[in-house]
Structure 1
């Protein structure tokens, strides 16, 4: 196996609204990434929990968190991304009015954020209904999922545990208490190199990854919770130059893909053809999709601690590793293609709890070294952060590390 060993720096240029830096001018106040709410553990103790007493019998609204979150840094904030599942166990409609998240590490406990009105309803993903809002309650027997992203300023102490309360009509439904550091946060090398990358489709309310609940093995999973689609774009924001139906016209196509950590290869699938890219003329995959080929040509690495790195949609004939092999951080694994369920050439990369691309839970990770340019054009060095938001990214080789 031909091996390329690399060390890396990452240059991130912020394109997404709300991605800013503390190194900007003093008059410029940083804000969290889009669709993430600033949480403050020093808010008043007054809350719906204090003003409304739990009824008897309790509100028959089941509130659960399938997988507890793990805090991760990005820019000027630390983030928690997770979901709350709501199940109405009655025959009657329940009106969801306010979701309160509480720091229960403190005595007395204090609310850190409250979602009301459109801020609440835009985060609710209805299951079996068109919408849930002030005029459309959650019907009897129905479910909904709240997509939560909390941002904590770097200067504040992060709660160890969070509680949840939902105001339902004039009653309160109590939710679960969760931890904020559930799994190990792995520091990884970048999976691609070079310029003009965009970390697309990360956690947001408008990302198909974030909203992509999928039942596999009889269980609803969110394996793509922190998945990133690595795409290259030019200064005009275009992914290609020339014939839009030719994969070779796309800047990302045939770019090399690298191991993010010392790892064992769990699986390596090759031989699936590239799709003709999607255009106004339509889109069809080159082969009928199944659970076995939805990722296309792919590599899965066991990176330890019960975590797996998944590389999907790679170029046919480019896979350089086999199942059972051991790879080192920076080893060349293959090239980007357009195989499987892929509309345009890109690398789909995610870290999960199992080697199955869909029957697993997505976990956060951070990239080792990088520097970022803020909205004012100021370059900054950063280490061990997750590139949240659809931000432009440039990876460059360390000049002291030769290719092998």
Structure 2
């Protein structure tokens, strides 16, 4: 099966999590077309997702604005046509505290019962190659979506902002390619990304990747 070749949907430094380079299905299940999905979390040069830590970090939740990714522009990863979007899901508090993560994890089954929007949050889905593959970007910031269904978009065009909506413990962008528009009955399709620098786990020096999938917890930056 040929992988869809995409551009990274952001600028700056982001960490790959739940990468299909580590396991397939990448998120542990095939639900909602997630088989080859990947998450990206914005970081700084010290691999931190937030430059601020205090008692809330250890004991409770934190405002999403504390995190580096929140509000950053999310870009179309390929040329295509917007075929579906969803907005209006709230951005949750962030959770780095283990005390805050436990009750959130216990609510996972309930979110699954609520359906795709409780999991994906605010989303934009773009048809690729005339409509036989669809790329979806999830967890966007509430009210930030800048496109409408039917819009033709170009790779690199801003379509929204990174948020913390849906099933998300801190601001990040989730990206997946599917064979149908509706993730509730879609199968995931493999993908790869065009030219990027990758700082692999344990290395201070980047490698240039012409086409590939970032490794788990690798730091990536798009190259022009």
User: Structure 2 length as normaliser, TM-score?
Assistant: 0.80
Cα offset for 1:359?
A: 2.4
The counterpart of 2:117, out of the listed 258, 268, 293, is 293
Alpha-carbon distance in structure 2 between the residues aligned to 1:226 and 1:208:
6
Cα offset for 1:358?
A: 4.1
Cα offset for 1:380?
A: 3.8
* Relative contact order higher in (CA < 8 Å, ≥ 6 apart): 2
TM-aligned CA distance change 1:335 to 1:191, over 3 Å:
same
User: Which 5+ residue runs of structure 2 have no aligned equivalent?
Assistant: none
Q: As a proportion of its length, which structure holds more strand? A: 1
Q: How many residues align?
A: 205
Is residue 104 of structure 2 the alignment partner of residue 312 of structure 1?
Answer: no
TM-aligned CA distance change 1:271 to 1:210, over 3 Å:
closer
* Equivalence map 1:168-317=2 (5 Å): 182=1, 184-195=2-13, 197-203=14-20, 204-205=22-23, 209-214=26-31, 223-240=33-50, 241-242=52-53, 244=57, 245-278=62-95, 279=97, 280-281=99-100, 282-283=103-104, 290-294=114-118, 295-304=120-129, 306-317=132-143
Is residue 162 of structure 2 the alignment partner of residue 345 of structure 1?
Answer: no
The counterpart of 2:213, out of the listed 352, 362, 386, is 386
User: Structure 1 length as normaliser, TM-score?
Assistant: 0.46
* Structure 1 stretch displaced more, 233-242 or 251-260: 233-242
How far does the alpha carbon of each residue in 1:225-282 deviate from its partner, in whole angstroms, 9 at most, with x for none?
A: 2211110234554322245411000111111101111111011211111112233234
Cα offset for 1:390?
A: 2.5
Q: As a proportion of its length, which structure holds more helix? A: 2
**Does the 8 A contact of 2:16 with 2:217 survive in 1?**
yes
Alpha-carbon distance in structure 2 between the residues aligned to 1:355 and 1:271:
19
How far does the alpha carbon of each residue in 1:135-180 deviate from its partner, in whole angstroms, 9 at most, with x for none?
A: xxxxxxxxxxxxxxxxxxxxxxxxxxxxxxxxxxxxxxxxxxxxxx
TM-aligned CA distance change 1:390 to 1:361, over 3 Å:
farther
Alpha-carbon distance in structure 2 between the residues aligned to 1:340 and 1:373:
29
**Does the 8 A contact of 2:146 with 2:160 survive in 1?**
yes
TM-aligned CA distance change 1:358 to 1:292, over 3 Å:
closer
User: Which 5+ residue runs of structure 1 have no aligned equivalent?
Assistant: 1-181, 215-220, 399-404
